[in-house]
Amino acid sequence: MNANATAPLSHDMSILSLITGASVLVQVVMLILLLASLFSWYYIFLKYFALRRASALADEFEKQFWSGADLNDLHQRAMNSRTDAGSMERIFESGFREFMKLRKQPGMDVRAVTDGTRRAMRATYQREMDELEAHLSFLASVGSVSPYVGLFGTVWGIMNSFRGLSNVAQATLAAVAPGIAEALVATAMGLFAAIPAVLAYNRYAGDVNRLAIRYDSFMEEFSNIMQRQAH
């Protein structure tokens, strides 16, 4: 009799069995969260290397620029290696190209040349920033939505567990515990997907903002140089 009383407690409570034993809707929620987590980790590593490379290329170009190198040589080098150039180098290349083009036109005053140079750099700056900010919105969405998606799966699984009690003569913790445990796995997966995405988004958003400040400062300083040369 004791063996029969303890029989309901012999459920397999491993993570794999809880996932396979969950309802179809909860399994769909878990699959969505798993895919969101995998994609977020892919973008986390992708942005890590991209931002690291962008910062290193900016350091290298600033060192060359402020070392007194000839601007024509820097421009030619930027044009020859446009695909491998960093964002700051491409900003410089577009600004210097526009400056040389406008300066050759007759009747162009200093202000018009400087404004045209600044607009050309600003357009390139916007394109480069769009590239650096790519996929950050996905990380923000995963970080903010995943806990609620997991909570939805948990609520649905707990509802199914309690509905199943209506077919049981005597409601016990042993009868409802497996269903609740299956549902709580969805919440755990939601947090597993959300926490790294939130941390990565906050870190990378700060890195992008620091690069944006560096690019903006360079454009102002370079515009001042071009204004002096235009005179």
Mean pLDDT, residues 35-42:
96
Residue 16 lies in a domain: no
Residue 9 lies in a domain: no
Residue 186 lies in a domain: yes
| Residue 7 pLDDT level (bands cut at 50, 70, 90) | very low
Residue 32 lies in a domain: yes
Domain coverage including residue 134: 22-230
Tell me how far apart the terminal alpha carbons of the chain are, to the nearest angstrom.
Answer: 102
Model pLDDT, residue 182: 75
The pLDDT tens digits of the residues spanning 183-219 come to: 788 888 999 999 999 999 999 999 999 999 999 999 9
Distance CA 84, CA 76 (A): 14
What is the count of structural domains for the chain?
A: 1
Res. 46: pLDDT tops 60: yes
Model pLDDT, residue 3: 42
The pLDDT tens digits of the residues spanning 136-167 come to: 999 999 999 999 999 988 888 888 777 766 66
Report which residue type is found at 212: A
pTM of the entire predicted model: 0.80
Residue 92 lies in a domain: yes
Residue 110 lies in a domain: yes
192 and 34 in contact (C-beta within 8 Å)? no
> Residue for token digits 């892919």?
42
Distance CA 16, CA 83 (A): 47
Residue 66 lies in a domain: yes
